[in-house]
Amino acid sequence: MKLVCVQLFLLLLLSVDTLGISAEDSNVDVIIIGAGMSGITAGKTLTANGITNFIILEATDKVGGRIRNSDFAGYEVELGANWVEGVNGEQLNPVWTLAQQVKLRTSLSDFSNLSSNVYTASGPLPPQTDADAITTAQNEYVINLSVNLTANGDDDISVLTAQRSYGSVPSTPVEMVLDYFLYDGEYAEPPRVSSLKNTQPGPTFKNFGEDLYFAADPRGFATIIKPVASYLQSKDGKYVDPRLKLEKVVNKIVYTKEGVTVSTEDGSTYTAKAAILTVSLGVLQSKLIDFQPDLPFWKLEAIFEFDMAIYTKIFLKFPYKFWRTGPGTEFFLYADDSRGYYPIWQHLERELPESNIIFVTVTDDESRKIEQQSNNETLAEIMEVLKSMFGPDIPEAEEILIPRWWSDRLYKGSFSNWPIGVTHHEFAQLQAPIDRLYFAGEHTSALYNGYIHGAYFSGIDAGKDEITGKINLRCTNQTGIRHTEATMAKESQQPKASSQLKVHLIRHAREKL
């Protein structure tokens, strides 16, 4: 009889192990879903407050989320986030602090002389000083209009509507590509989509500074997460803590006022008093996760009203360089009749010397189109553009790398963008928990959505919300600005309109998530 009992006990243990469930993690205090910056930061916040009985479920095989690098032609390149955006300003960007802690290899992006680096199908153009001046003046007007609308409590409008009110909308290929660089290159969606009051002027650059540092470290940009994730690492920096569970794709969440049950595609089931969900906005908009009960309409409305943008960097390796190098040449633009057709180019001679690698950035509909066609089709289009820019005798590319963030079911896009029509009350609903299910991620940062530092702040706030048991924020927070952002950044007050708000056209391509 004892032998039978022992056999039954061993069989039960085997069954539990097969399901991926153990006595220590089948019932925990908190389940964190996602091991990107926000999920890891949430875990650190819990740990700092004495809550250690939690697990982190990550769908992929590594920590980092949309901060992800890949080997390309013998070099490490960043498929997603690539810049520390917002440096050398009045306040210290926490991501820059992390980069310095790990001695991340970076370089200050050089956007100077951009209007002299414009090409068309007929080759290089002379310096486009007139178009540059027009675009810069228009951008100053757009920013000041946003400040005034906010100060007066007026309704929001799109960036395009603001441009129209200025009396001039970019229409020539050169004007369109300069405009694209300024807006689409930052928000990954066109001015007709983006909210004026919630994107202009960008709090990131106003608060943290207008400098951007490009990450080109052989360890990968995700190395910046290591100081945050020290609670999961051994002394040599390896992720060894069993609370971090990789390759766990969450496909069902059952939530109540008493707790949360989370299931994964491998058949594992985990229960907890609360869960912090840090998946991307794109995943929330997809059908990857089955919520039981269904999310309430006010939450679904907020999720679907906000935008998940697509930002695609296409890397190309050549046998030798045929593009200009040296100061003032890092970025160059292709002005096509079709706005957004392979528009923003960057060489990597400072970041990856002698690599002979360049990359082109596309967004939105062009990204969707490219993700659905073959690499060879895309390469043929790119080579046609490059030959029109530099002549027919340039060499063929030896290799090409095309990330597909939109097609990837675990991300469904690159980063969020605030579209016209979403109020701060509706954004607060996007952030708000439901029972014991909390939401975090860059898309829940009212001031810094779309940025790594937005993910960082959101993870802290979600951890604090769980700690303090705030389970009914939907009607109490009308601004959407959570406590960490307001305390650490102090930018909840809009600036007064002034000439100091000038934002140079020579700006940003992105760190973005």
Enumerate the known binding-site residues for FAD.
Answer: 38, 58-59, 250
Q: What is residue 411's three-state secondary structure?
A: coil
- CA 281-199-169 angle, 5° bins: 115
Q: Classify burial at 420, counting beta carbons within 10 Å of its beta carbon; exposed 0-12, middle 13-18, buried 19 or more.
A: buried
- 213, β-bridge pairs: 84, 108
Q: Which of 24, 76, 78, 85 is catalytic?
A: 85
Query: Which residue, 26, 28, 66, is CA-closest to 46?
Result: 28
Q: What six digits make up the tokens of 75?
A: 């070099």
Report which secondary-structure segment, H or E, holds 447. Answer: none
Binding-site sequence positions: 38, 58-59, 250
Residues linked to residue 419 through DSSP beta bridges, in sequence order: 194
The single-letter code of the amino acid at 36 is: G
**Does residue 85 have an active-site annotation?**
yes
> Who's near 510: CB < 8 A, 6+ residues apart?
81, 82, 83, 85, 185, 186, 188, 212, 311
Residue with tokens 């970041």: 351
Contact in structure between 260 and 31 (CB atoms under 8 Å)? yes
Residues 137-152: b if buried by 16+ CB within 10 A, e if exposed: ebbbbbbbbbbebbee
Structure tokens at 48: 């700092």
Q: Which residues of 27-58 are buried (b: 16+ CB within 10 A; e: fewer)?
A: ebebbbbbbbbbbbbbbbbbbeeebeebbbbb
Q: Give how far Cα 206 sits from Cα of 104, 261, 362, 448, Å.
A: 24, 41, 26, 11
Cite the active site residues.
85
